[in-house]
Amino acid sequence: MRHAPGGSRSFGAAVCAALLVVTACTTDNGGGGTEGNGGNGGSSTDTIRGAWIEDPTTFDPALTQTTDDYRAARIIYDTVIRRDLDGELIPGLADEWELTAEGAVLMIGEGHTCADGTEITPTVVAESLTYLADPETNSLHTTGIFGDGEVSITGDDDTGEVSIELSEPHTDLLVGLAIPQAGIICPAGFEDMEGLAAGGVEGAFSGPYALTSANLGVSYEFELREDYGSWVEYSEQLEGTPAATLEFVVGGADAVANQLLTGEIDVAPVNTEEVARFEDDDTYELTVAATGEAYVMINHGETSPFQDEDLRRALAQIIDREALRDIAYPVGDLIATLGDENMLCANTDFDLLEHYDTDAVGDAFEGVSVNVIGTEAIGQNGAATIYVQEQLAAAGAEVDLYNTDVGSWVDQIYEEPETWDVTVYATVNNLGSISWGLGTVIGPWYVEGGRNMTYSENPEAAEAFEAAMSAESEEEMCEHYQIAQEAALQSVDFIPVSMVTQSIISREGFSVQTPGGKEDATTLRILD
C-alpha cells in the first residue's frame, strides 16, 4: 500500500515544473512596456505608463467633472492659453491676447491643426468656446471661466482674432481659458457629440495625443500625433522626449505605489502616506502639484457659536496651523490666504493671521457646544478634523465630531448648515486663481446663488472682492483682492492652513512638470 513516495516525487516534480513555467511566463511583470522591477526604463522605451484613479466620465472637455477627466482633457485638447512652469500665462493656440473692459481678444496662431488635419482657425476656436459658454451645455466650468453674465464669442479668420464679450466683467477669464476644461474641440467633435463624450472622434482632438484605446476599468492608451507641431514653449525647455505612447492603467490609489515599486508603471500620483516608501530611494523623484487650498471653514450662521467674532479669533488661536498642515497635507506650503505666493494677488503677509496661542484663549470655550464635521479624505482617516476636535475639547468646549465620506460631508455643508459649526475644507481650485477659494468664504451666499458656504457677512471684504472681479488692470485687481483678504482675515472669517497637494512619483528615466502647480501629462518626458 505504501506506494506514496514514487507518486509524491512525480507530484512534486509536476508542481516545480508548473511553478517554473509560471515564473518564466511572468517576469515581464505584466506591464508589457519598459523594464521590470525597478530597472531604468527611460531611454529603452517610447512608452510612459501612468495611473488614473478611475475611468474618465467623459472626453468632452466642457462636461468634465473629475480629476481623471481633466487629466485626459489636457492630453487630447489644447487650450488657447497655457501656464508656464512658474504659473505665468503663456501662448497656447493663441499667440497673443488682450484683456479688455468687455472681455478679451485672442490672436490665434497659424499652423495649429486638429488630429484630422483641419486647421484650427479663429472660427473653430470661437465655435468651441461658444459651446463651453452656452448655458444649454450645462458645463460645471462656465461660471468660473466666463463669470455670471452673458457671453458672446466671435471668430474672424481674416484678422485671426477671437473676441470674447462678457456682459459682466470677469478678471478670471484668461486663467480660465488656460485650464484643460476649456480645451478646444475641433469641428468633427460637434458632428458626433456622443462619440465626442466617449472619446471616439479622433478628429475632435486638438492636443498632442489621440485616444487610441479605452478599456473600461483597465487602461487607456494615447498615441502621439505624428503631425502635431503645437508644443508649448515654456520658459525653460523640458528635458527629454515626449512618449510616442501614453498608457494609463486604472487602479485604486492604494495599488499605485506598489506598481511604481515593481516597475509596472513609470509616473503616477500616490497617496500622501505612501510617499515615505520612496523617500530613501534616489531612483524615484517626487513632484508636488497643487490642487487647491486647505483651510478651517467656519460657519457664521445663526445657529453657530462662531457668529461671534471673538470666538472665531479664539478658534484661530487654538489651531496650530503648522501641525494641522502636517496632518492634512504634509508637503503643502503654509498659506496666508486661499492661495500661495505663486498665485496672482495672493496675500503673503502671515502677520495678518491670528497666531497660535492657547493661553490667550482663557475660558472662551467654557460651556460652548461645537459641532465639528469632516471627511476621512482630509488627513488619514479624517485626522484633520479630529485635530480640531481635540483642540476645542482641550480648550473646554463640548465637541461633537462627525467624520464621514466626502459625499455626505459636502452635502451636509451645503444642505444642512444648521448641523455644523466648523470643518476643515479643501477647495478644488481648477482655475488656480485667488478668487476661487475666496469665493467660498466671501461674498454672496450659496443659497442666494453665490458660492459662499460660510454665511459670513463682511461688507468690506465682499465689496472689495466684487471690485476685484471687475477690475480693468492687474494692479487694480490685486489692490482690491488685498483689501478683501485683509478684511476677511482680520475678522477671522476663515483660517488658512496650506496648499492641497498631490504627490507625483516618477521612476528614474522619466519626468513630469507641474505648470502653474497643476499636473499636466503633456509635460511627461522620457529622459535620455
Partner 1 sequence: MLIALARPWPAFLLRKGTELVLAVLVLIVITFLTVHLVPGDPARVIAGTDASLEHVEATRERLGLDRPVLTQFWDYFSGVLTLDLGDSWRRPGVDVNEIISTRLPFTLSIAIAGIVITIVASLIIGLSVAGLTRGNRNQWLDSIFGWVTAGVLALPVYVIGAILVVIFAVNMGVLPAAGANSLSAYILPVAAIASGPISSMSRLVRREAAIVLEQDYMRTARGWRLSTARQFAKHAVPNLLSSTLTLSGLILASMIGGAIIVETVFAWPGLGRAVVDSIIDRDFAVTRGIILTVGTFAVAMNILIDIVLALVDPRTLRAGKALT
CB of 188 to partner 1, least distance (A): 18
Residues 191, 233, 239, 254: which binds partner 1 (CB under 8 A)?
254
- Rounded distance between C-alpha atoms, residue 149 and residue 354, angstroms: 37
Residue 103 contacts residue 173 (beta carbons within 8 Å): yes
CB of 472 to partner 1, least distance (A): 26
Nearer to partner 1, 277 or 313 (CB): 277
Burial of residue 28 (number of CB atoms within 10 Å: 0-12, 13-18, 19+): exposed
CB of 207 to partner 1, least distance (A): 22
Nearest Cα to Cα of residue 443 among 453, 433, 434: 453
3-class SS string, 114-128? CCCCCECCHHHHHHH
**DSSP 8-state class, residue 292:** E
Per rule CB under 8 A, is residue 4 in the interface with partner 1? yes
Per rule CB under 8 A, is residue 408 in the interface with partner 1? yes
- Rounded distance between C-alpha atoms, residue 149 and residue 155, angstroms: 20
Collect contacts of 273-279 with beta carbons under 8 A, ≥24 apart: 273/380, 274/503, 275/331, 275/503, 275/505, 278/505
Per rule CB under 8 A, is residue 428 in the interface with partner 1? yes
- Rounded distance between C-alpha atoms, residue 113 and residue 78, angstroms: 10
**DSSP 8-state class, residue 241:** B
C-alpha cell at 338: 486661499
Per rule CB under 8 A, is residue 237 in the interface with partner 1? no
CB of 33 to partner 1, least distance (A): 9
Nearest Cα to Cα of residue 451 among 217, 9, 5, 143: 143
Residues 13, 18, 20, 30: which binds partner 1 (CB under 8 A)?
30
Nearest Cα to Cα of residue 145 among 183, 108, 117, 88: 183
Residues 107, 238, 250, 527: which binds partner 1 (CB under 8 A)?
250
3-state helix, strand, coil split of the chain in percent (to 5) is: 35, 20, 40
Residues 273, 308, 310, 411: which binds partner 1 (CB under 8 A)?
411
Residue 214 contacts residue 242 (beta carbons within 8 Å): no
Per rule CB under 8 A, is residue 10 in the interface with partner 1? no
Which of 27-35, 110-118, 221-229, 232-240 is the region at the interface with partner 1 (rule: CB under 8 A)? 27-35
Nearer to partner 1, 26 or 473 (CB): 26
Which of 96-104, 177-185, 248-256, 357-365 is the region at the interface with partner 1 (rule: CB under 8 A)? 248-256
Per rule CB under 8 A, is residue 348 in the interface with partner 1? no
Q: What angle do CA 219, 224, 225 make, to 5 degrees?
A: 130
CB of 269 to partner 1, least distance (A): 14
Nearer to partner 1, 122 or 263 (CB): 263
Residues 126, 249, 314, 316: which binds partner 1 (CB under 8 A)?
249
- Residue 83, phi then psi, degrees to nearest 5: -105, 135
Binding to partner 1 (CB under 8 A) within 258-297 occurs at: 258-259, 261-264
Query: Taking CB under 8 A as the rule, which mask of x and - marks residues 444-483 in contact with partner 1?
Result: --xx-x-x--------------------------------
Nearer to partner 1, 3 or 282 (CB): 3
Nearer to partner 1, 37 or 348 (CB): 37
Residues 13, 17, 18, 32: which binds partner 1 (CB under 8 A)?
32
C-alpha cell at 246: 501614453
Query: Rg (Cα) of the chain, in Å, rounded?
Result: 26
Per rule CB under 8 A, is residue 194 in the interface with partner 1? yes
Residue 447 contacts residue 359 (beta carbons within 8 Å): no
Nearest Cα to Cα of residue 115 among 214, 222, 194: 222
Query: Taking CB under 8 A as the rule, which mask of x and - marks residues 34-63 in contact with partner 1?
Result: --xxx---------------xx-xx-----
Residues 229, 407, 459, 528: which binds partner 1 (CB under 8 A)?
407
**DSSP 8-state class, residue 265:** -
Per rule CB under 8 A, is residue 419 in the interface with partner 1? no
- Rounded distance between C-alpha atoms, residue 475 and residue 166, angstroms: 21
Per rule CB under 8 A, is residue 6 in the interface with partner 1? no
Which spans of this chain sit near partner 1 (rule: CB under 8 A)?
1, 3-4, 7, 22-23, 25-32, 36-38, 54-55, 57-58, 65, 138, 140, 143, 194, 197-198, 216-219, 249-252, 254-256, 258-259, 261-264, 404-408, 410-412, 414-415, 427-428, 446-447, 449, 451
